[in-house]
Amino acid sequence: MKTMVSLVLASALYLMTGNVLLAQSEVPPGAIQQAVEDHEWREAPASMPSGTMVLPLEGNIREEGLFTLRLRVPAGTRLEPHFHPKDERVTVLSGVVRVGFGENWEDGLMVEYAAGSFYLNPAESAHFVEIVEDCEIQLTGEGPWEIHYLEDH
């Protein structure tokens, strides 16, 4: 009886381990899996505020198609009124961001978004942004991504 129980337990363990190994090896083509320790942050392009770091996750912002990236932006950063030709989806992962819509900066129009918040900037809609606390945001949109400031900044 003891041998039978041991055999059943050994078989169950083998099957569970085999399924885990099988599940790990059957990643379909096109799947993206990125562990936090594999992240490679780099300086954002000149079109973004100084001190901003970028982490591309999916796609290429310069090409047609879906993209997802993360930005780390220092507190005190302001993005003057600007717009994007395509919708821009933003998830605040950490920190605090304030966003307002309009062609002129107006503090009274701004809404504050803390970690866990989500907002969408519709295509062609002028908006302005202030980073209240160091933040990390995730941006998803359709490329090519562009930013057009209403005035030289």
Domain extents in the chain: 36-149
Strand partners, 63: none
How far is residue 32's CA from residue 55's CA, in Å, rounded to a whole number? Answer: 14
- Tokens (6 digits) for 50: 């100084």
Class (C level, CATH) for 36-149: mainly beta
CB distance 96 to 135 below 8 Å? yes
Residue in 80, 130, 75, 81 with CA at minimum distance from that of residue 102 = 81
Q: pLDDT 10s digit of each residue in the chain, 153 long?
A: 555 444 444 444 444 455 444 456 788 998 888 888 888 999 998 878 899 999 999 999 999 999 999 999 999 999 999 999 999 999 999 999 999 999 999 999 999 999 999 999 999 999 999 999 999 999 999 999 999 999 865
